[in-house]
């Protein structure tokens, strides 16, 4: 299990923030918890995932349900994914 940071833009911050319950349900399939950070000046967010199963994350986020949710919640590609480097300093 590892920590992953995901960053992406959103088309409408209020719409995106309103989808928190759906995100929590979806993300619980592959991580033990997550935290949301909103950019101070842009419609952009970062999500820090803790305790991630990378294979389950890939499967969950690659599903047709996730694609529909991205569209509904105004997620804008590209989505940048940063995976923790064990022992990195």
Q: How far apart are CA 16 and CA 53, in angstroms?
A: 24
Q: What is the pTM of this model?
A: 0.92
- Sketch the domain layout of the chain as residue ranges: 2-83
What pLDDT is recorded for position 66? 94
Topology (CATH) of 2-83 = Alpha-Beta Plaits (3.30.70)
- Does the pLDDT at position 89 exceed 80? no
Asked if 20 and 71 count as a contact pair (C-beta separation under 8 A), the reply is no
The pLDDT of residue 87 is 79
Beta strand segments in 11-87, E: 33-38, 44-52, 75-83
Q: What is the pLDDT of residue 86?
A: 83
Nearest to 46 by CA among 88, 14, 4: 4
Phi, psi of 73 (to 5 degrees): -100, 15
Tens of pLDDT, residue by residue over 8-54, are 999 999 999 999 999 999 999 999 999 999 999 999 999 999 999 99
């Amino acid at each position: 299990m590892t920590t992953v940071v995901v960053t992406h833009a959103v088309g409408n911050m209020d719409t995106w923030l309103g989808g928190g319950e759906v995100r929590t349900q979806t993300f619980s399939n592959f991580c033990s918890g997550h935290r949301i950070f909103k950019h101070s000046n842009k419609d952009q967010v970062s999500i820090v995932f803790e305790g991630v199963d990378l294979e389950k994350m890939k499967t969950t986020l690659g599903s047709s349900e996730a694609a529909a949710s991205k569209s509904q919640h105004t997620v804008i590609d590209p989505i940048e994914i940063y995976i923790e480097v064990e022992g990195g300093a």
